[in-house]
Homo-oligomer: A and B are copies of this chain.
Amino acid sequence: MERQFKVTFLPDDVTVRVRGGTSLFKAAADAGIELNSACGGKGTCGKCAVKVRSGKVKRDTTDLPLHLKKAGYVLACRARVQDDLVLEVPARSRILKQQVLLEDASVLTARDVHGKTFGQNPFGRRVRLSLGEPNLTENASDLTRLKAALCQETGCEDAEISLAVLKKLPETLREGDWQVTVTLVEYGGRTKIIDVEPGLSKRPPLGLAVDIGTTTVVVYLVNLETGETLDKRGTHNRQARYGEDVINRIIYTVEQERGLEVLQKAVTKTINELIQNILLRNEVSSKDICVAVCAGNTTMTHLFLGVPPKYIRLEPYIPAAWVMPWVKAAEVGLVINPEGLVVNFPAVASYVGGDIVSGLLSTDIPESDALSLFIDIGTNGEIVLGNRDWLMACACSAGPCFEGGGITHGTRAMPGAIQKVAIDPKDYSVSISTVDDKPPVGICGSGLVDCLASLHKAGIIDRAGQFQEPKTPRLREGEDGPEFVLVWADEAGLDEDIVITEADVKNLLRAKGAIYAGIRSLLRMVQLPVEAVERIYIAGGFGNYLNVRDAVRIGLLPDVPLERFRFVGNTSVKGARMALMSREAFDAAVELSRKITYVELSVGNDFMDEFVSAMFLPHTDLSLFPSVAI
List residues of A whose CB falls within 8 A of some B CB.
134-137, 139-144, 160-163, 166-167, 169-171, 174, 305-308, 310-311, 315-325, 327, 331, 347, 349-350, 598, 600, 602-603
Contacts and interface: CB of A to CB of B under 8 A. Distances in A.
B349 A166 contact: no
Given A171-B308, A308-B171, A321 B136 contact: no
A1 B147 CA distance: 58
8 contacts: A135-B316, A136-B316, A137-B603, A143-B321, A144-B323, A163-B306, A166-B324, A169-B321
B321 A166 contact: yes
Given A163-B331, A166-B325, A141 B308 contact: no
Contact of A144 (B139, B321, B350): B321
B600 A166 contact: no
Contact of A136 (B139, B320, B602): B602
A349 B140 CA distance: 8
Contacts of A139: 316-318, 349-350, 598, 600
Contacts of A166: 305, 307, 320-321, 324-325
Contact of A167 (B308, B319, B350): B308
Report whether over half of chain A's contact residues are helix, strand or loop; otherwise say mixed.
loop
A324 B322 CA distance: 33
B142 A321 contact: yes
A134 B317 CA distance: 9
Stoichiometry, as copies per complex, reads: 2
Contact of A169 (B144, B320, B322): B320
Given A136-B315, A136-B603, A602-B136, A320 B143 contact: yes
Contacts of A600: 136-137, 139
Contacts of A135: 316
Given A141-B318, A142-B318, A602-B136, A162 B325 contact: yes
Contacts of A308: 167, 170-171
Given A143-B320, A174-B311, 12 more contacts: A136-B600, A136-B602, A137-B603, A141-B320, A142-B320, A143-B321, A144-B321, A163-B305, A166-B320, A166-B321, A167-B306, A167-B308
Nearest to A139: B316
A259 to B, nearest CB: 14
Contacts of A306: 163, 167
Contacts of A170: 308, 310-311, 318, 320
B160 A319 contact: no
A618 to B, nearest CB: 31
A139 B348 CA distance: 11
B137 A327 contact: no
Contact of A307 (B167, B316, B325): B167
A525 to B, nearest CB: 14
A78 to B, nearest CB: 30
A174 B322 CA distance: 18
Contacts of A350: 139
A160 B166 CA distance: 23
